[in-house]
């Protein structure tokens, strides 16, 4: 099945951050040179919006639900990185990208341990500062969910970009669904859900497990929304959230979870799926007229491709909608991984030769345009049709 190939386990080898034997020596030499100079020399693309970016990490516990993957662990737990518009100057240190152990587990899963330094990855420079003073005003909220077996850190560039353009962004690590997520008390929770997927007897059984992932994440995102906007918010700066305007966005199964969240929670006004199968199908009744963006690879998510969930979902979406595919892209084009690969000296995946710069620009610009249109009512000519500046982006009209 496609998702097993992409997310799990062996087939993330096709991701842009994976060095093949032919490129391993090149990557190792570049990494050795980078490490000799400074592990902290690597950086994510700088945000382009008018605001500085602040960030804070929250540990949230839903006492009303047991963890679905490890029930004996107790209530469902989430780690959330909140990126927000901040005032220029001040604030604390730049936030780390991820911990060294999280980086080690991510690299090991992708077959890069011993080739790329975990310290180099964990020391990547982000552009968000801790303890930054929030910007004045109120801002829409974006809930952001990563791909299966992929930590929330891999969507940091998008989160920071949206925050710099005036959004509060809550990126969620769902317990036991990533290569490794650090939790309080020195705990490192790895992907128990992956074992359940791998134990599925067939593709249909795997799809059913992943549907459970999608709907479970919808419950997670609704809980995060409760804790950020409820009467006793978990975040000290929650007053800056404009509760009238909320979106759910995700990559891979996180994109399916964005649609599942809209189905379950009427507070969510818009949603976007970045190259994820709809494991919970969009029903014939639609999404109550709310806008939805489908942004994917041309190889796997064009009309008539093997993933029929996009063709079916498109027919049922009943509000403003766009189906965009990106030429020469790969499943991880819409994450930080192309930029990280470039920083680490790894050549592009031959199956997804789109440059790191273009991967970043396309993801940022089209996602921000969609949110500006759907949450702020600002006209976006970028979404009206193809443009000469973005020849890689194909507007599908099945």
N-terminal to C-terminal alpha carbon distance within the chain: 24
Handedness of CA 89, 90, 93, 95 (dihedral sign): negative
Concatenating the DSSP letter of every residue in 113-144 gives BTTB-HHHHHTPEEEEEETPPBPSS-EEEEEE
Query: Who's near 252: CB < 8 A, 6+ residues apart?
Result: 3, 6, 7, 146, 147, 148, 150, 274, 275, 276, 331
- Sign of CA pseudo-dihedral 4, 106, 68, 272: negative
- CA–CA distance, 317 with 315 (Å, rounded to integer): 6
Which residues of the chain are under the pLDDT cut of 50? 1-40
Looking at residue 255, its pLDDT comes to: 98
What's the per-residue H, E or C state across 176-234?
Answer: CCCCCEEEHHHEEECCHHHHHHHHCCCHHHHHHHHHHHHHHHHHHHHHHHHHHHCCCCC
For residues 189 and 168, give the distance between their C-alpha atoms in angstroms, rounded to a whole number.
26
Strands (E), 72-114: 75-86, 94-96
275: left (phi over 0), alpha (psi -120 to 50) or beta: left
| Model-wide pTM > 0.85 | yes
Q: Residue 160: what are its φ and ψ, rounded to 5°?
A: -65, -40
Strands 52-66 and 75-86 turn out to be antiparallel
Rounded distance, CA 108 to CA 124, Å? 18
Sign of CA dihedral 129, 131, 137, 142: positive
CA dihedral 312, 318, 321, 326 (to 10 degrees): 0
pLDDT of residue 113: 84
Q: Provide the residue ranges of all domains of the chain, joining segments of one domain with +.
A: 2-396
Superfamily of domain 2-396: Alpha/Beta hydrolase fold, catalytic domain (3.40.50.1820)
Q: Is 62 left (phi over 0), alpha (psi -120 to 50) or beta?
A: beta
Query: DSSP assignment, residue 43?
Result: B
């Amino acid at each position: 099945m496609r998702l097993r190939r992409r997310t799990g386990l062996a087939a993330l080898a096709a991701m842009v951050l994976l060095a093949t034997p032919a490129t391993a020596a090149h990557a190792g030499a570049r990494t050795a040179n980078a490490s000799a100079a400074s592990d902290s020399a690597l950086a994510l693309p700088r945000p382009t919006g008018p605001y500085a970016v602040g960030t804070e990490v929250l540990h949230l516990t839903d006492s009303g639900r047991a963890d679905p993957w490890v029930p004996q662990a107790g209530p469902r737990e989430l780690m959330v990185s909140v990126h927000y518009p901040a005032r220029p100057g001040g604030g604390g240190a730049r936030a780390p990208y991820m911990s060294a152990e999280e980086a080690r587990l991510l690299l090991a899963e992708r077959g890069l341990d011993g080739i790329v330094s975990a310290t180099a990855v964990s020391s990547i420079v982000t552009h968000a500062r801790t303890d930054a003073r929030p910007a004045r005003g109120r801002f829409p909220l974006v809930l952001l969910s990563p791909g299966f077996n992929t930590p929330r850190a891999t969507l940091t560039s998008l989160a920071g970009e949206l925050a710099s353009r005036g959004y509060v962004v809550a990126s969620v690590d769902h317990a036991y669904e990533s290569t490794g997520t650090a939790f309080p008390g020195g705990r490192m929770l790895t992907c128990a859900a992956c074992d359940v997927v791998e134990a599925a007897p067939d593709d249909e059984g795997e799809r059913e497990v992943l549907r459970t992932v999608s709907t479970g994440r919808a419950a997670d995102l609704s809980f995060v929304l409760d804790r950020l906007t409820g009467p006793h918010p978990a975040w000290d700066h929650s007053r800056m959230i404009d509760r009238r305007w909320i979106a759910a966005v995700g990559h891979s199964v996180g994109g399916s979870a964005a649609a599942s969240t809209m189905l379950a929670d009427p507070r969510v006004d818009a949603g976007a799926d970045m190259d994820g199968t709809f494991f919970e199908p969009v029903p014939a009744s639609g999404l109550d007229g709310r806008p939805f963006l489908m942004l994917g690879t041309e190889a796997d998510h064009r009309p008539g491709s093997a993933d029929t969930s996009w063709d079916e979902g498109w027919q049922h979406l009943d509000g403003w909608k766009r189906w965009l595919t990106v030429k020469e892209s790969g499943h991880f084009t819409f994450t930080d991984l192309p930029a990280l690969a470039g920083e680490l000296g790894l050549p592009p995946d031959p199956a997804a030769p789109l440059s790191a710069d273009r991967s970043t620009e396309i993801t940022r610009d089209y996602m921000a345009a969609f949110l500006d249109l759907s949450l702020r009512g600002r006209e976006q000519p970028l979404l009206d049709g193809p443009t000469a500046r973005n020849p890689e982006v194909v507007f599908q009209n099945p």
